[in-house]
Structures are given as structure tokens and as C-alpha cells.
Structure 1
Amino acid sequence: MAKSLLIISRQAPWTGPSAREALDIALAGGAFDLPLAMLFLDDGVLQLLPAQAAGELQQKDITANLQALSMFGVDDLFACHTSLAERGMGPTELNVEPLQVLRDQEIAALIDRYDQVITL
């Protein structure tokens, strides 16, 4: 049986390659039917906002990658309630569905459910 994988994405989409790399790992794992989920934490929740204007920062837009996750079987997407609140964001303004918003104690339980965890 394949080991389950949780990918924790903690970087904003415009601060470097980490956000894109986390999505690439998720898409590759989904293509191989690996049981996996993504958790957006800290500045990683900024990836979930629509209209990123990545071109102005000479970056590639990750919106298409986010929306492709479900096509690759990555349906377990989570965001940290505290991270959203600290950035003045609410679940209704985010660009990803389905998305479960978790409180801190729920995040600890989520991490414990997975065999392997990658943090980018």
C-alpha cells in the first residue's frame, strides 16, 4: 500500500519557487494515485487568493495548477484558520474548492494522520 503524503505549503506565491514546487509535487503524486493532501499555512494561504497578477512580478501564475489539483485526484485541501485570520482573509474569497479550514488543534491531528509530511 502506498504511503500517504501531506504537503504543507507555507510560502506566498511570489516569494520564490516553493509554492510552485509544492503544487508540482501534489500534481505528480496525484497522477500516480498517491494518497495525499495539501495544507496551506502561514503565507501559503495567500496562494488561495484569486487574481494573483503574477506577470507584474515576473512570475508564473499558479492559479491553473491550483484548479488542476482536483483533476489529479487531490481533493483534500486544507487551510489554517489562524493564518487566514491574521491576513484578513475569509473562506468565501478564496479561489480553491473544496477547501476545509482547520483550527490549530485540528492541524496537529491532520499531520498525525499522514505517513510522510513535506513542508515547503
Structure 2
Amino acid sequence: MSQSLLIISRQAPWSGPGAREALDIALAGGAFDLPIGMLFLDDGVFQLSPAQQPANLQQKDLSANLQALPMFGVEALYASQRSLQERGLHDQALSLAAEVLDDVALTALIERYDQVITL
């Protein structure tokens, strides 16, 4: 039986390699049919914002990678309600369908997974 893996992405898409690395791990694991979930926390919720303009910062666009997650079997997507609120983002306007969880539900989510990687 495969170990389940939760990837917690805490970096904005333009703040360094962490966001891209988290997506790469999720896509690779999904290609091998591992049970994977992805949680967008803190500045990581900015990855779900549909109005990104990465070219202005000379960065690569991550939206294609994000849209590919379900195609690779990574369908368990979560976002922190608190992180969204603190950053003025609304869950109805996210670029991906992510389940928005409060702090209590986040704790329960993390405990459900066998392995957790935070980037």
C-alpha cells in the first residue's frame, strides 16, 4: 500500500523556487499514482490567484502546472481559509477548485497523511 503524501506549499509563485518545487513533487508523485494532497498555506495561496502576471517579474507562469494537477491524479487540493482572508483573496475566485479549510480542519487534514512535505 502506498504511503499518502501531503505537500504544503507556503511560498508565493514569484518568491523563489519553493512553489515550483512543490508542484513538481506533486506532479511526479501523481504520475506514479501515489495518493497525494496539496495544501496552499500562507503566501502559497497566491498561487491560486487567477490574475498573476509573472512575466512582469521575469518569472515563469505556474498556472499550466497548477491546471495539470488533476490530470496527474492530484485532486485533493486544499487552501487555508485564514491565509486567503489575510491576503484579501476570496475562495470563489480561485483558479483551481480547492477545498477551503479553517484551522481545526487543517490540523485534522495534516494528521490524515502518512508523510508531509513543506516547501
TM-score between both structures, scaled by the size of structure 2:
0.98
Q: What percentage of aligned pairs have identical amino acids?
A: 68
Aligned to 1:100: 99
Q: What is the Cα deviation at residue 92 of structure 1? A: 1.1
Letter in 2 for 1:22: A
Q: Count how many residue pairs are aligned between Structure 1 and Structure 2.
A: 119
Letter in 2 for 1:95: S
Q: What is the Cα deviation at residue 65 of structure 1? A: 0.4
Letter in 1 for 2:84: L
Deviations 1:38-68 (A, max 9, x none): 0000000000001311111111000000000
Name structure 2 gaps, 5 residues minimum.
none
Q: What is the Cα deviation at residue 26 of structure 1? A: 0.3
Aligned to 2:112: 113
Aligned to 2:15: 15
Aligned to 1:51: 51
Distance in 1 between residues matched to 2:27 and 2:47, nearest whole Å: 16
Name structure 1 gaps, 5 residues minimum.
none
Letter in 2 for 1:86: E
Deviations 1:52-109 (A, max 9, x none): 1111111100000000000000000000000000011111111002x10000010000
Distance in 2 between residues matched to 1:75 and 1:22, nearest whole Å: 15
Letter in 2 for 1:117: V
Task: Find the residue that maps to 1:101 and give its secondary structure.
Answer: strand
